[in-house]
Amino acid sequence: MAAIRILVVDDSVVIRKLLSDALRRDPGLDVIGTAGDGRIALAKISQLHPDLITLDVEMPVMDGLETLAEVRKLYPKIPVIMFSTLTERGAAATLDALSLGASDYATKPSSTGSPAVAIEAIRTKLIPKIKALCAGSATKLESLPLPVPTLRLRAPGRIEIVAIGASTGGPNALAEVLPRIPKDFAVPVVVVQHMPPIFTRLLADRLASRSAIPVQEGRAGVNLRAGGAWIAPGNFHMTVKHAGVDWGLVLNQELPENSCRPAVDVLFRSVALAYGPSVLGVVMTGMGSDGVVGSRHIRDAGGEVIIQDKASAVVWGMPGLVYAAGYADGVYPLDRLAPEITRRVLQGRTPHSSTHLTSYIAVGQPAK
């Protein structure tokens, strides 16, 4: 297989060299060129035809957002990973970039760290994203046997909580789903989006400004209520605990799971334990396997799990592996997820629910 051809764009000579050297250590990657600003980058794209671009957010002459807008006009299919600082300004610009069509992002290693630490961060955080985006999937799902569709007899029980997990492509996917949840939604929504601190708070604020339901970053001790959504804060696992008549949020900094903190598996396990069969899990676009084990816990407790389909996912790693494991009760394109979530929550609450909502739900097939 040919190496992935990468163009590195950053105004810092030090960062260009560090990033290029780190990427070239992987035999599957080839840094074919660098650029110090957006104008030079646009000229080199037409000359070098890269498979992927890493793009600094803050640059002179033509910054990352301006460059990205031009790249998307001229080369709409080239994956672009934004390379930003772990600051309020960097996080805000990164979220702007994702909304403009950036494929993913990575945070720059701290300037106070050693080169060896920086290279290791690039190896573990950035390189897997490059390979996932250029492969079109974080996993070789095509080589996995598809599950034999199974039927689960389900009574029209009441969903009492919706738990969502997402990673690569998740901010834009959440911006499609949460604003379409009705303001009188009958249950709480809890979300894990793989992001560092600062990013999750800004993401929650942006989603709140576009949604009918309140959206906020999760805080320890908050009681969940119907019609609200909470996003796990960066660098903290978020769980749900049943205490008396209430359910509340608990945060911890236990070891990462699936190299993630927050982790979808941690949240899904907790909602399965707290709510039993009354859980609807939703696994959306993302690389890796986070959410597979948690989905099994939800299903084992009698709950339901639905996933985003391959065609609409930026990376079909997380939802694809849930599907391959046979844990999906339905597979839906992104624009159908919010209506389907709402339908499943409502079906146990409608006084005269039609019998066709009492279902044998086939794996991979939405209920009719």
Has residue 138 got a pLDDT over 80?
no
pLDDT for the residue numbered 152: 60
Inform me whether the pLDDT recorded for 91 exceeds 80.
yes
User: What is the residue type of 104?
Assistant: D
pLDDT of residue 321 exceeding 80: yes
Query: For position 361, what pLDDT does the model report?
Result: 35
- Taking only the tens place, the pLDDT of each residue in 42-83 is 999 999 999 999 999 989 889 999 999 999 999 999 999 999
Q: How far apart, in whole angstroms, are the C-alpha atoms of residue 299 and residue 295?
A: 6
**Which range is least confidently modeled, 116-125, 150-159, 274-283, 319-328?**
150-159
Q: Cα dist. 238→178, 222, 246, 248, 299 in Å?
A: 19, 11, 16, 10, 20
Confidence of residue 262 (pLDDT cuts 50, 70, 90): very high
Residue 358 clears pLDDT 90, i.e. is over it: no
Residue 155 has pLDDT above 80, yes or no: no
Residue 114: its pLDDT value, please? 78
- Fold adopted by 145-362: Rossmann fold (3.40.50)
- Range of lowest pLDDT (194-203, 235-244, 356-365): 356-365
Is the confidence at residue 33, as pLDDT, over 90?
Answer: yes
Q: How confident is the model at residue 224 (pLDDT cuts 50, 70, 90)?
A: very high
- pLDDT band for position 348 (cuts 50, 70, 90): confident
Tell me which DSSP letter residue 31 carries: E
Q: Say whether pTM exceeds 0.95.
A: no
More confident residue, 246 or 258: 258
> E strand or H helix at 203, and its extent?
helix 199-210
Query: How is the chain split into domains, by residue range?
Result: 4-135, 145-362
At residue 149, the pLDDT reads 46
pLDDT band at 365 (very low <50, low <70, confident <90, very high): very low
Tell me, what's the pLDDT at 157?
72
pLDDT confidence tier of residue 153, bands split at 50, 70 and 90: low
In sequence order, what DSSP letters do the residues of 149-171 get, joined into one string? P-EEEE--PPP-EEEEEE-TTHH
Instruction: Give the closest residue to 176 by CA, choosing from 306, 333, 335, 308.
Output: 335
Among candidate residues 61, 25, 21, the one with its CA nearest the CA of residue 43: 61
pLDDT at 146: 53
> Sorting pLDDT into bands at 50, 70 and 90, what band is 112?
low
Known catalytic residues?
Answer: 167, 194, 290
The CA distance from 203 to 331, in Å, is 26
pLDDT class of 131 with cuts at 50, 70, 90? very high
Mean pLDDT of 221-236: 97
Q: Chain centroid to CA 20: how far?
A: 26
Share the mean pLDDT of the chain.
89
252 to 55, 61, 234, 274: CA distances (angstroms): 33, 43, 11, 17
pLDDT at site 29: 96
Residues 6+ apart with CB under 8 A from 26: 123, 127
pLDDT, residue 65, reads 95
Band (pLDDT 50/70/90 cuts) for residue 244 is confident
Question: Mean pLDDT across the stretch 161-181?
Answer: 98
| Terminal Cα-to-Cα distance of the chain (whole angstroms) | 43
> What's 4-135's CATH class?
alpha beta
